[in-house]
Amino acid sequence: MINYIIKRLVTSVITLFVVLTATFFLMHALPGGPFDNEKPLPPKIKANLEAKYGLNKPLYEQYVMYLKNLSRGDLGPTLKYEGRTVNEMIAYSFPASAKLGAVSIIFSLILGIYLGVVAALNQGKWQDRLVMVIATLGVTVPSFVIATLLMYVFSVKLRLLPSSGFAGPKYMILPALALSGYSLSFIARLTRSSLLDVIRQDYIRTAKAKGLSRNVVIYKHALRNALIPVVTYLGPLVAGVLTGSFVIEKIFAIPGLGREFVTSIGNRDFMLIMGTTIFYSTLLVVCNLIVDLLYAVIDPRIKLEA
Amino acid sequence: MERLLEIKNLRTSFFTHVGEVQAVRGVSFHLDKGEAIGIVGESGSGKSITMMSVMRLLADNGKIVEGEILFEGRDLAKLPENEMQKVRGNEIGMIFQDPMTSLNPVLTVGDQLMEPLIKHKKMSKEEAFNRAVHMLELVGIPSPKSRMSQYPHEFSGGMRQRVMIAMALACEPKLLIADEPTTALDVTIQAQILELMKDLKQKINTSIILITHDLGVVADLCSRINVMYGGLIAETGTTRDIFYNPKHPYTWGLLNSVPNPKNLVKERLKPIDGQPPDLLKPPAGCPFAPRCQYAMRICMTQRPPLFEIGEGHKAACWLNHKDAPKVEAPIRRGDL
């Protein structure tokens, strides 16, 4: 177990290094730079700015510089926001995205699994059809459509919930719902098909033959087996949702990381691009590792070997 | 002898999108307390479905259409589901064909063993644990205490079937239904498992219904045998009757398809040619008639009744009618 974790951490570092190197050079291969605006800056000022941030140096020197700073945990200054570092930016915007993401994940998991179980246990009946329709819509309708619809119904028509901002729990309900649409539907479908497979297994017949009640058979014997595929999906889901969604954050005016991630690319804010990419990659790698460890907890047949 | 189980004219069907599959078409037999009987037949003969009907563990589209299943006088066919749950695992235990897939892979063996004890016998965790350890010991699992916290994948096939037996017998049921308990195991293990069942039958004083397609397996354990074919009982009698005085051509066929250890080289096994009947459109006459070399005209049109051969020995074959031609049974007498 410990050996396995160590091995995974070592490979993770290699993965992250490849990601950051590729991003660094791809980013610099893009035309344009952080100081290109509609109104061009006077060449002298631009040259001064580039000198200040070291952008005039050869690329490999910049790369080495970046790695040096990174090894100290310093992600550098932002190029677009005067006087703020990338570390500060992430520290400021990540909590909003993370909170929203966490609420959305809990919501997707509870409701998704519940709907999946209901559908599987009523296979072919109206409950099943209803869940499948909802799940299909959730997967196919883009989140911005769901977001706008939710906003229209709950904020404009019913005036129950605020449409934008991030000042308390009730501000999170609509964006979390909109953010959950896809993952909730996906989890519901996954749970349904997996549970349908499991309840036909011999060991479920054994459990019934022992005289266990239907609830014990389903929730103790079947569901744990059925959730193994759901756990697989959880790794990328958690990382993806925690780091925020550009679309949702934009629509609900939430100061989150997802928005920074996307705008930084348009801005050619090299430092912020690198910072958010590294942050996201690290989170993804860690989440995948946690999921793989969780596997062994849920399914005793899986042995983690280094 | 006291009756434990009496099945009267049981009919079980599956309602599929292509129509009604009549898996069991009017089966009657009984089992006395302390007795072990065998139900023998090939796949699709209705032997497993008969016993799944007793357990009321049919698939969602399966239904007991007619008949009574009297277990100590109670009709299980009409028992409400919550009452039935108190019978399963408590008064009737069941073990299945494939021990590799019959245990839940994500729960410890101990947990699975303790479940019925806690549910039916209202034992505390500690009592259930001790009882489970005792059961594992009884079925011959070495160092049972440490085995309790292991998972099924850490057990071999034979060991898992022992665990299944321990689980089915944990609550000391009056009846143990064993559905092909040795089919998925290799031959040496088969003998061990049968020996174990014989041994436990004495110790726990349980009655056994053994379902199998292998006549060799029932001979040792069972006092009576029901041979099933096409959802009906073809022949029923004591093990002696079935082996030494069989009166149904299907039983002859089954006996001839058991390997004879005395002349392994010389003789080839005689398979029964043809296919079992389609129970979606069951034949009007004897279900075995299309495969039977002795079939007469009446066999195709009229279902044979169970002719009384001797005491408790009956065969559903027109050859046993007093006007039928006399046929010598083509079996190797005394070899088995």
Q: Which CATH number fits the domain that encloses residue B82?
A: 3.40.50.300
Of B98, B119, B151, Cβ closest to residue A212? B119
Residue B330 lies inside a defined structural domain of this protein: no
Residues B33 and B123 in one domain: yes
Residue B264 lies inside a defined structural domain of this protein: yes
Residue range(s) defining the domain that contains residue B218? 3-222
Residues B71 and B126 in one domain: yes
Residue A125 touches chain B, beta carbons under 8 Å = no
Q: How remote is the C-alpha of B298 from its chain's centroid?
A: 31
Angle at A290 between CA A286 and CA A291, to 5 degrees: 115
| pLDDT tens-digit series, residues B182-238 | 888 888 888 888 889 988 888 888 999 999 988 888 888 899 999 999 999 999 999
Q: What is the DSSP code (8-state) at residue A77?
A: B
| pLDDT tens-digit series, residues A207-232 | 999 999 999 999 999 999 999 889 88
Residue B187 lies inside a defined structural domain of this protein: yes
Residues B77 and B197 in one domain: yes
Residues B238 and B213 in one domain: no
CA distance A289 to chain B (A): 21
- DSSP result, B12-46: EEEEETTEEEEEEEEEEEEEETT-EEEEE--TTSS
- Judged by CB atoms closer than 8 Å, whether chains meet at A211 and B120 is answered as yes
CA distance A205 to chain B (A): 8
Chain B residues inside the 8 Å CB shell of A210 = 88-89, 115-116, 119, 167
Three-state SS sequence of A202-237: HHHHHHHHCCCCHHHHHHHHHHHHHCHHHHHHHHHH
Give the number of domains in chain B: 2
Residues B140 and B164 in one domain: yes
Mind listing the domains of chain A with CATH numbers? Answer: 1-306 (1.10.3720.10)
Phi, psi of B5 (to 5 degrees): -135, 135
pTM of the model: 0.82
Residue B325 lies inside a defined structural domain of this protein: no
| pLDDT tens-digit series, residues B113-137 | 999 999 999 999 999 999 999 999 9
At residue B334, does pLDDT exceed 60? no
Residue B121 lies inside a defined structural domain of this protein: yes
Residues B93 and B144 in one domain: yes
> Rounded to the nearest 10 degrees, what angle do helices A169-198 and A228-242 cross at?
160
With a CB cutoff of 8 Å and minimum separation 6, the contacts of B283 are B230, B277, B289, B290, B300
Best residue of B17, B106, B164 to probe chain A, by most A CBs closer than 10 Å: B106
Domain end (from B222, B238, B272): B222
Complex ipTM, two decimals? 0.88
- Taking CA atoms, what residue in A is nearest to B112? A207
Please state, as a whole number, how many other Cβ atoms lie within 10 Å of the Cβ of residue B48: 21
Residues B130 and B242 in one domain: no
> Rounded to the nearest 10 degrees, what angle do helices A59-71 and A2-29 cross at?
150
At residue B79, does pLDDT exceed 80? yes
Chain A residues inside the 8 Å CB shell of B55 = 209
Residues B273 and B306 in one domain: yes
Chain B residues inside the 8 Å CB shell of A301 = 105, 151, 153
- Judged by CB atoms closer than 8 Å, whether chains meet at A211 and B86 is answered as yes
Instruction: Write down the mean pLDDT value for chain B.
Output: 90
Residues B182 and B299 in one domain: no
Residue A301 touches chain B, beta carbons under 8 Å = yes
Lookup result for tokens 């749950």: B85
- Walk along chain A (306 residues) in steps of 10 and give the mean pLDDT of each run: 88 93 90 78 84 84 89 85 86 88 92 95 93 93 90 90 84 89 93 95 94 93 92 82 81 85 84 89 88 85 74
- Judged by CB atoms closer than 8 Å, whether chains meet at A209 and B94 is answered as yes
- Judged by CB atoms closer than 8 Å, whether chains meet at A201 and B101 is answered as yes
Chain A residues inside the 8 Å CB shell of B119 = 210-212
Angstrom CA distances, A76 to A10, A86, B40, B82, stand at 25, 6, 79, 67
Residues B187 and B238 in one domain: no
Of B85, B101, B107, Cβ closest to residue A211? B85
Residue B149 touches chain A, beta carbons under 8 Å = no
- Judged by CB atoms closer than 8 Å, whether chains meet at B88 and A208 is answered as yes
Residue B294 touches chain A, beta carbons under 8 Å = no
Q: Given pLDDT bands bounded at 50, 70 and 90, which one contains residue B332?
A: low
Of A202, A207, A210, Cβ closest to residue B98? A202
Residue B173 lies inside a defined structural domain of this protein: yes
- Taking CA atoms, what residue in B is nearest to A200? B59
Report the pLDDT value the prediction gives residue B192, as an integer from 0 to 100. Answer: 87
Of B96, B108, B120, Cβ closest to residue A206? B96
Report the pLDDT value the prediction gives residue B265, as an integer from 0 to 100. Answer: 57
Residue B106 lies inside a defined structural domain of this protein: yes
Residues B257 and B206 in one domain: no
Q: Per DSSP, what are the bridge partners of residue B31?
A: B5
- Taking CA atoms, what residue in B is nearest to A222? B104
Percent of chain B clearing pLDDT 90 (strictly above): 68
E strands in chain A: none
Residue B202 lies inside a defined structural domain of this protein: yes
Q: H or E stretch including B225?
A: strand B224-229
Tell me how long chain A is.
306
**Rounded average pLDDT over B24-38:** 94
Lookup result for tokens 């729960």: B107
Residue window 146-185, chain A: list those with CB within 8 Å of chain B.
none
Chain A residues inside the 8 Å CB shell of B118 = none
Report the pLDDT value the prediction gives residue A54, as an integer from 0 to 100. Answer: 80
CA separation for the pair A50, B289 (Å, rounded): 96
CA distance B6 to chain A (A): 20
Domain end (from B222, B241, B263): B222
Report the pLDDT value the prediction gives residue B256, as an integer from 0 to 100. Answer: 84
Residues B92 and B178 in one domain: yes
